[in-house]
Amino acid sequence: MTKEKYQVYRYRWVSLLAYMLVFFIGGPLWICFGAISSTVRQAYFLSGVSDMTITLLVIGPLATEIFASFPMGVLVDRKGWKFATGLGAIIMTAVAVLRIFSPDVTWLLIFQFFLGVAFALMYVSLAKLAVTWFPRREGAFAQGLGLIASNGGNMTGLILTPLLIAFFGAYNARSSLQNTMLLYAVVTVIITVVFFLIARDKPPTPPEPVEETKQVPLREGLSRIASSRDFWLLGIAFAVGFGVYLSIVDYVERAAWSNVPLFQKFAELYVALYNPELFFVFVNMEQSFGGLASGLVLLFGIIGTIVITRLSDKIGRRKLFLFIAVLICTPMLYIMGTTHGEILLVAAALFGFFLISVQPLVFESIVEIKSIGPMITGLALGIILTLGHTGSVIWPLIFGMLQASSSSYLLAELFYYLSILPSYWAYILEFPLYFYFFTAPPLIQLPGTFFGPTLFLVLSAALAVVLLVSLKEVH
pLDDT at 1 over 50: no
Residue 63 to residue 147: CA distance in whole angstroms? 19
Last residue of a domain, one of 152, 171, 200: 200
**In which band, very low, low, confident or very high, does the pLDDT at 213 lie, cut at 50, 70 and 90?**
low
- What is the pLDDT averaged over residues 5-15? 89
Mean pLDDT, residues 216-235 taken together: 87
Task: Compute the distance between CA of residue 400 and CA of residue 53 in angstroms, rounded to an integer.
Answer: 19
What confidence score (pLDDT) does residue 146 get?
92
Q: How far is it between the farthest Cα atoms of the chain?
A: 90
Does residue 205 sit within a domain?
Answer: no
Residues 190 and 339 in one domain: no
pLDDT tens-digit series, residues 250-285? 777 777 777 877 777 778 777 777 777 676 666 666
Burial (Cβ within 10 Å: 0-12, 13-18, ≥19) of residue 60: buried
Mean pLDDT (whole number) for 100-128:
90
Q: Are 366 and 380 in contact (CB under 8 A)?
A: yes
What pLDDT, on the 0 to 100 scale, is given for residue 287? 59
Do 136 and 60 share a structural domain?
A: yes
- Domain count within the chain: 2
Alpha helical stretches, state H, 169-217:
173-198
**Domain-terminating residue out of 200, 226, 260:** 200
Count of C-beta atoms within a 10 Å radius of residue 71: 14
User: pLDDT tens digits for 331-366?
Assistant: 999 999 888 888 999 999 999 999 988 889 998 888
Residue 85 scores a pLDDT above 70: yes
Domain identity same for 296 and 366: yes
User: Does residue 211 form part of some domain?
Assistant: no
Rounded to an integer, what distance in angstroms lies between the CA atom of residue 361 and that of residue 471? 14
Closest CA to 210 of 133, 138, 123: 133
% of the chain surpassing 90 pLDDT: 32
Nearest to 282 by CA among 444, 424, 174, 146: 444
Residue 209 included in any domain: no
Residues 267 and 225 placed together within one structural domain of the fold: yes
Tell me what the mean pLDDT of segment 306-319 comes to: 90
Backbone angles phi, psi at 260, to 5 degrees: -65, 160
Question: In angstroms, rounded to a whole number, what is the distance separating the alpha carbons of residues 177 and 181?
Answer: 6
Domain-terminating residue out of 143, 174, 200: 200
> Closest Cα to residue 458, out of 279, 330, 317?
330
In the prediction, which pLDDT does 15 show? Answer: 95
List of residues 6+ apart from 101 with CB closer than 8 A: none
Q: Are residues 40 and 106 in the same domain?
A: yes
Question: What's the CA gap between 62 and 310, in Å, rounded?
Answer: 28
Percent residues over pLDDT 70 in the chain: 89
Q: Report d(CA 92, CA 121) in Å as an integer.
A: 11
**Do 224 and 103 fall into the same domain?**
no
List the domain range (segments joined by +) for residue 85.
7-200
The answer to whether position 307 is within a domain reads: yes
User: Is 212 contained in some domain?
Assistant: no
pLDDT of residue 447: 80
Question: pTM surpassing 0.85?
Answer: no
Of 33, 65, 15, 444, nearest in space to 259 by CA:
444
**pLDDT band at residue 20, thresholds of 50, 70 and 90?**
very high
pLDDT of residue 48: 61
Same domain (yes/no): 275, 134: no
Q: What CATH number is attached to the domain comprising 397?
A: 1.20.1250.20
pLDDT value of position 181: 93
Residues 6+ apart with CB under 8 A from 124: 69, 72, 73, 76, 84, 378, 381, 382, 385
Same domain, 386 and 281: yes
Element holding 79 (H helix, E strand): helix 51-79
Point out the least confidently predicted range of 40-44, 126-130, 191-195, 343-347. 40-44
**What's the average model confidence in pLDDT over 150-157?**
86
Q: How confident is the model at residue 2 (pLDDT cuts 50, 70, 90)?
A: very low
